[in-house]
Structure 1
Amino acid sequence: FAKLKRVVAMGGSVRVGYGKSAYRPASAPAPEYNILADVPAAQRVFAAGVPIVLLPLDATQITLEEPERVALFAHGDGLTDALTQLYYQWRNTDQPWASATPTLFDVVPVAWLLRPALCPTTPLHLDVDAQGYTREGAGTPNVQACLRADKPALIEMYMRALLELH
């Protein structure tokens, strides 16, 4: 870890769990998939002392709504055609997370790397417990966590990049 300048990670659930919506109360924090996949490794990273920028469920549950999907599906280049095919695979899976409205979990950390202002961070002390929960605690902050992304600006950047509208 000593050679790392910083870790930027999508993972954890600090104050909000899965199923975030503007139309219902926030769900309780939950063990998030990326942390849960290897709890001991996550615990080592959080305790290593390397600077961490964390983009948890709190900020990454940004959905791609129908008008944007229609624009991407109709664009007709190699990238948007591939995204369209992935969308239909994702939508038609029998996994519990399948939905007609894609959630851009992976886009948010990339957006932060390109434009950090899209997802301001808050210094927090976080630990990963044995069940994979990302728990806030007392102590010196070990994480800069984005708890809320600027959805309109992030979607605008995403759409412009994919549709090459510079």
Structure 2
Amino acid sequence: MPVPVILDCDPGHDDAFNILLAAAHPAIDLLALTTVAGNQTLEKTTLNARRVCAVAGIRGVPIAAGRDRPLHGARRTAENIHGDSGLDGPGFGEGEPDVPQDPRDALTLIRDTLLAHPEPVTLVPTGPLTNIAALLLAHPGLAGRIRRIVMMGGSTGRGNTTPAAEFNVLCDPEAADIVLRSGLPVTMFGLNATHQVRATPEVVARIAALGTPLSALCVELLTFFGSAYREVYGFDAPPLHDPLTVAHLIDPSLVELVRAAVTVELHGTYTRGATVVDLHGVTGLPAAVEVGTRVDTDRFWDLVVEAVRVLGGGPGPR
């Protein structure tokens, strides 16, 4: 049976591909999309989610806007990576996308979806964890309706926004702390895993060869994303972080997982937002989180390319 999923995201180039993958693959039942401020402001990330669904022909998936700032502290965005729109690169035009925004807020949409679905649902947050933490605080009785949380964030090693902290966790460390200590099953895909799935020129060429309007748009997204990563980080190809979450749900053998205690540093002058992953059991804390380690990159890219082909109406598998 398909895995029932709610995506909570902040599109964002890599979020866009995760939406495509979740909508295209028959192993996933995409129930709802919720947005959060992160890669850009809430207004922009919500518009971007609607734009992606519109160009890919994704209809009937409700999209609701969530929190526009972290639980505590100031909001931060990632214009240096995702541009002023949050999805710089392609031209989406000036008009409103024909995919509407749900009138409910994100927490209400998630609550309603969890209560309406006959079985527990997997939450897939790929931005700051503000919406998910707020949901757990506001509706603790819904925990039994959540099968698991599969998140993109953190790292077993160094960060990408500060030397110690990854962007999603740093945007709202208190929210990440609440989620990781919630007692719910959590699987974390951090930078140590996502940096293995880089959109090389060969990958971009495979997508371009599909020859559809959607594939052309995806190439434009990856071209801008790659340019930003070269300029900011010196990467030869950009890592497509977020789709690793849904790819794992499609094929659990795609990424090796280890169990570890994961805590979030909330107070360090230089380390606030760091995920402290106890891979060797030295803290004595419960190894409560599944942490992604080694990725089968070829199979990952096969899934992503196939999603673009399916939604774009392109030729047979490549």
CA displacement at 1:147 relative to structure 2: 1.3
CA distance in 2, matches of 1:100, 1:139: 38
Q: Please provide the CA RMSD for this pair.
A: 2.3
Is the Cα contact below 8 Å between 1:14 and 1:56 reproduced in 2?
yes
Larger Rg: 2
Unaligned runs of 5+ in 1: 19-28
What TM-score, normalized by structure 1, do the two folds share?
A: 0.82
CA distance in 2, matches of 1:142, 1:54: 11
- Following TM superposition, the consecutive aligned residue runs of length 4 or more in structure 1 with deviations greater than 4 angstroms are 92-95, 97-100
Q: 1:117 to 1:97 in 2, by over 3 A?
A: same
CA displacement at 1:162 relative to structure 2: 2.7
Residue of structure 1 in register with 2:147 after alignment: 5
CA distance in 1, matches of 2:151, 2:211: 32
What TM-score, normalized by structure 2, do the two folds share?
A: 0.45
The code of the aligned residue for 2:184 comes to V
Is the Cα contact below 8 Å between 1:17 and 1:58 reproduced in 2?
no
In the alignment, which of 43, 55, 60 is matched to residue 194 of structure 2? Answer: 60
In the alignment, which of 137, 147, 150 is matched to residue 296 of structure 2? Answer: 150
Q: 1:105 to 1:125 in 2, by over 3 A?
A: same
CA displacement at 1:73 relative to structure 2: 2.0
Higher RCO structure (Cα 8 Å, ≥6 apart) = 1
Unaligned runs of 5+ in 2: 1-135, 137-142, 267-271, 311-316
CA distance in 2, matches of 1:93, 1:118: 27
Is the Cα contact below 8 Å between 2:204 and 2:222 reproduced in 1?
no
Q: How many residues were matched structurally? A: 156
Residue of structure 1 in register with 2:261 after alignment: 125
Task: Say which SS state the counterpart of residue 90 (structure 1) adopts.
Answer: helix
Residue of structure 2 in register with 1:86 after alignment: 221
Structure 1 vs Structure 2: percent identity of aligned residues?
26
